Structure 1
Amino acid sequence: MANIIFYFTGTGNSLRIAKTVSNTITDCEIIPMGTNRGITINKEYDRIGFVYPVYFWGVPKIVRDFVSDMRMENNKGTYFYAIATNGGFAGNGLKLLNKLLLEKNIKLKYGKALKIFSNYIISFTMPGKFKKLLEKSDKILLPMLESIKNKKPNSIGKINKKMNQFYEKYVSTFQYEDKNYTVDGSCVGCGICKEVCPVHNIELIGGKPEFKHTCEQCMACIQYCPQRAINYKGKTEGKVRYTHPEISYKELAESNNIKYRNA
């Protein structure tokens, strides 16, 4: 039977992990959550996976909306799993996904948080030795791959209510945070920011990016801009940018535009 992984990423970390999982279990599609909404899965899959970063101790808004809108009645016996990347504390990052699935009478059979490092450039400075940190996370990923390959279950736990209150407070404001983005004179109108945005929140008007208020705060536009022309509220100027070294902007752009086809 076939497998499928749904992912969401801003800097390429989750896409790279999804590719690694796909290579482990084989016969596996990789589909972006950002540009696929309201899908119905009639085909029965052996495994259905989700890979995404933890945002404010929860899941990105687009992940929440994507899973809420999914229909997958023919996959009640499927092995559902998730890997949530995080830089600090995973919080409810897996528990919220499990709650969304339980509302569809589906249980998350396996879920693990994979600590990499915090790359939310608004609040953190990117580490200088990130390659070593990536190598370390790859080693931590290995037993997760084996568990997914062999369909091992684990316990996800219950939602922490206080953390969820914090999450709900911030997740509802994400889409409007792009009003605080600035574009300086070094912008050359290359359009890379538009191409890598996983939710198509950017248009080029007069050769300059304009934001449409469907932002996920994934930082793709800031991190991938070759001129470092895009910044946020005076908090990101001069900071080191980070994107996964194995995920080019071209690959990210192409992957984020793949459409799910229920064949």
Structure 2
Amino acid sequence: MKILYYTSTGNNLFIAKQLGGELLSIPQLVKDNIYEIKDDSVGIVFPVFFATSPKTLREFVEKVNIHADYIFLICSYGSDGDYHALKIMKKTFNKRGININYTNSVLMVDNFLPVFDMAHEMEIKNDSDIEKQIEIIKNDIISKKDFIYSKKHFTNVPFIEKILESTMTSKYHIIADDGCSSCRICTKVCPRGNIEVIDGKPHFGEACDFCLSCVHHCKTHTLSINDEANPNERYINPNVKLSEIIKSNNLYQ
């Protein structure tokens, strides 16, 4: 079994590790121009961004050829949008003649800083509940269960694809203040290779996924988001090491 994953704060790498199999980072696959994936079972584990998936992943899904008897999609989400994200990705694969056997979601800490207070999120999201959700999904995948997740949704898919993401990213933006230590961790955890440290300050290109990995990992709080719910709080999955996220996302290694 191969599991392709996209991670920023470690949530989806944690899910992928719990499910087992051979883990393949999607940013690294894109970097190495690998778009042919073969195995008996293949899954994609990803976060919900604006009720869809990250731009890097959407571009990857448009090109990747998956050859497997059993294909599954698992997303992590913090409040809503999981149904839409899974539906959009499944629809993209189906249009390309690739059948999806199983879709499901895991409710985890929502690390979207402009809306959620990380301290509160960590207080109300129980690790044991998360592990129970993953265990159910793992057993389903081992038995190769056919299941397509369904949920009452709040709007239609075309609206999500065309409107919500652009609205959110125009409303919120990353701010680089003084105080950078030039550790360059932000450059190493960026899944798009979109950040450079120039003259002791992070500079961003035009390819941002708005995954906020750089902000959450910034040790000096040099990076922030406008209108944060709690500017003093950050989140990294406690079960995942920084070195693992760098290995997954660093496009300069």
**Range class of TM-score, shorter chain:** 0.7 to 0.9
Distance (Å, rounded) in 2 between the aligned partners of 1:256 and 1:6:
13
Contact 1:95 / 1:159 at 8 angstroms: preserved in 2? no
Q: Report Cα offsets for 1:30-69 as digits up to 9, x if no partner.
A: 112224335332x631111100111122222221111101
1:108 to 75, 96, 100: 100
When normalised by structure 1's length, the TM-score is 0.84
Distance (Å, rounded) in 2 between the aligned partners of 1:177 and 1:209:
21
Distance (Å, rounded) in 1 between the aligned partners of 2:118 and 2:230:
13
Distance (Å, rounded) in 1 between the aligned partners of 2:69 and 2:250:
26
Residue identity in the other structure for 1:110: Y
Determine the structure 2 residue equivalent to 1:166.
160
Determine the structure 2 residue equivalent to 1:190.
183
CA 1:240 to 1:175, structure 2 compared with 1: closer, same or farther past 3 Å? Answer: closer
Determine the structure 2 residue equivalent to 1:33.
26
Gaps of 5+ in 1: 23-27, 259-263
Residue identity in the other structure for 2:26: M
When normalised by structure 2's length, the TM-score is 0.87
Residue identity in the other structure for 2:224: N
1:251 maps to 2:244? yes
1:121 maps to 2:113? yes
Determine the structure 1 residue equivalent to 2:5.
7
Q: Report Cα offsets for 1:79-110 as digits up to 9, x if no partner.
A: 10011001112231111111111022111101
Determine the structure 2 residue equivalent to 1:151.
144
Distance (Å, rounded) in 1 between the aligned partners of 2:9 and 2:167:
21
Distance (Å, rounded) in 1 between the aligned partners of 2:57 and 2:248:
16
Contact 2:110 / 2:121 at 8 angstroms: preserved in 1? no
Distance (Å, rounded) in 1 between the aligned partners of 2:134 and 2:19:
9
Distance (Å, rounded) in 2 between the aligned partners of 1:12 and 1:177:
25
Distance (Å, rounded) in 2 between the aligned partners of 1:159 and 1:92:
10
Q: By how many angstroms is 1:171 displaced?
A: 3.2
CA 1:128 to 1:233, structure 2 compared with 1: closer, same or farther past 3 Å? Answer: closer
Determine the structure 2 residue equivalent to 1:25.
none
Distance (Å, rounded) in 2 between the aligned partners of 1:250 and 1:154:
34
* Counterpart secondary structure, 1:49: strand
Distance (Å, rounded) in 1 between the aligned partners of 2:77 and 2:92:
20
1:65 to 37, 59, 70: 59
Distance (Å, rounded) in 2 between the aligned partners of 1:81 and 1:141:
13
Residue identity in the other structure for 2:215: I
CA 1:164 to 1:57, structure 2 compared with 1: closer, same or farther past 3 Å? Answer: farther
Determine the structure 1 residue equivalent to 2:122.
130
* CA RMSD, 1 decimal: 2.6
CA 1:145 to 1:223, structure 2 compared with 1: closer, same or farther past 3 Å? Answer: same
1:54 maps to 2:48? yes
Contact 1:62 / 1:216 at 8 angstroms: preserved in 2? yes
Determine the structure 2 residue equivalent to 1:86.
77
> Structure 1 runs of 4+ off > 4 angstroms?
156-161, 172-178
CA 1:129 to 1:93, structure 2 compared with 1: closer, same or farther past 3 Å? Answer: closer
Contact 1:189 / 1:208 at 8 angstroms: preserved in 2? yes
Distance (Å, rounded) in 2 between the aligned partners of 1:202 and 1:16:
25
